[in-house]
């Protein structure tokens, strides 16, 4: 065996340092660069520069990794909705701005958006539960500011259904091409208040 020159080849980190987070970030990159089909445990491991079985110690199954990636998606999602509705003049405009931001996020980040709502990601992850709860709270607050605090949750569920349904149907191309999506979007946003 030839001895490779001990140049700056980095001290062969047997221990990665923070492989867990690195795998999640690698997963997010793969997701937006190559789509959901390429998002495998082994691909994440490769991208993070570790062996194929290294993730095992941090994620018992692929599904667990997917859940963490989805959670990180929800975190960005909440931030985007916050930012997108920050300087709205009033509660109604704010809710509407959130709706627009929601749909914009779904279209700009299709892959992770679909993952966030995919049936196969398990909901046991603490981080996922926390970030989903944050998203829900964000919505409930905005809805309460418009509709008052009676029946808030039912109203929030209705609003979410409306916007989420539209996002899903459009991103998965389920609406016929004859439908003017901008028209539909406007018609839809009228029903938020």
- Which residues of this chain interact with DNA, rule CB under 7 A? 12-17, 19, 38, 40-43, 45, 50-54, 56-58, 60-63
Closest CB to its own copies among 50 and 125? 125
- Taking the C-alpha atoms of residue 128 and residue 125, their distance in angstroms, rounded to an integer, is 5
* Strand ranges in 52-190 using DSSP code E only, listed in sequence order: none
* 65 in Cβ contact with 44 (< 8 Å): yes
Min dist. Cβ of residue 176 to its own copies (A): 6
Q: Could you tell which of DNA, its own copies, none binds residue 47, using a CB distance below 5 to 8 A set by kind?
A: none
Closest CB to its own copies among 54 and 74? 74
Q: Could you tell which of its own copies, DNA, none binds residue 37, using a CB distance below 5 to 8 A set by kind?
A: its own copies
Using only the alpha carbons of the chain, give its radius of gyration: 21
Three-state DSSP at 13 gives coil
HSE on the CB side for 155, CA within 13 Å? 18
**Closest listed residue to residue 46, CA positions, set 30, 63, 68:** 30
**Residue 4 CB neighbour total at 10 angstroms:** 7
HSE on the CB side for 21, CA within 13 Å? 2
* 149 in Cβ contact with 91 (< 8 Å): no
Q: Could you tell which of its own copies, DNA, none binds residue 62, using a CB distance below 5 to 8 A set by kind?
A: DNA
Q: Could you tell which of its own copies, DNA, none binds residue 58, using a CB distance below 5 to 8 A set by kind?
A: DNA
Residues 91-150 that bind its own copies (CB under 8 A): 114, 117-120, 123, 132-133, 136
**Closest listed residue to residue 138, CA positions, set 118, 163, 120:** 163
Closest CB to DNA among 120 and 150? 120
Closest CB to its own copies among 18 and 180? 180
Q: Could you tell which of DNA, its own copies, none binds residue 82, using a CB distance below 5 to 8 A set by kind?
A: none
Interface residues with its own copies (CB under 8 A) are 36-37, 114, 117-120, 123, 132-133, 136, 151, 153-158, 160-166, 168-169, 171-176, 178-181, 183-184, 186-188, 191
């Amino acid at each position: 065996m030839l001895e490779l020159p001990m140049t700056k080849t980095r001290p062969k980190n047997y221990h990665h340092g923070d492989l867990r987070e690195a795998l999640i970030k690698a997963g997010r990159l793969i997701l937006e660069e190559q789509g959901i089909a390429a998002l495998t445990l082994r691909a994440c491991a490769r991208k993070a520069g570790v062996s194929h079985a290294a993730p095992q110690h941090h994620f018992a199954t692929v599904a667990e990794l997917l859940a963490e990636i989805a959670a990180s998606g929800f975190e960005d999602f909440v931030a985007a909705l916050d930012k997108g509705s920050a300087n709205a003049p009033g509660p109604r405009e704010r809710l509407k701005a959130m709706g627009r931001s929601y749909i914009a996020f779904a279209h700009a980040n299709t892959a992770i958006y679909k993952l966030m709502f995919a049936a196969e990601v398990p909901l046991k992850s603490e981080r996922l539960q926390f970030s989903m709860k944050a998203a829900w709270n964000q919505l409930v607050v905005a809805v309460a500011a418009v509709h008052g605090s009676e029946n808030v949750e039912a109203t929030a569920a209705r609003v979410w259904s409306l916007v989420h349904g539209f996002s899903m149907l459009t991103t998965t191309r389920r609406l016929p091409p004859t439908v003017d999506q901008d028209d539909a979007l406007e018609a839809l946003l009228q029903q938020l208040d």
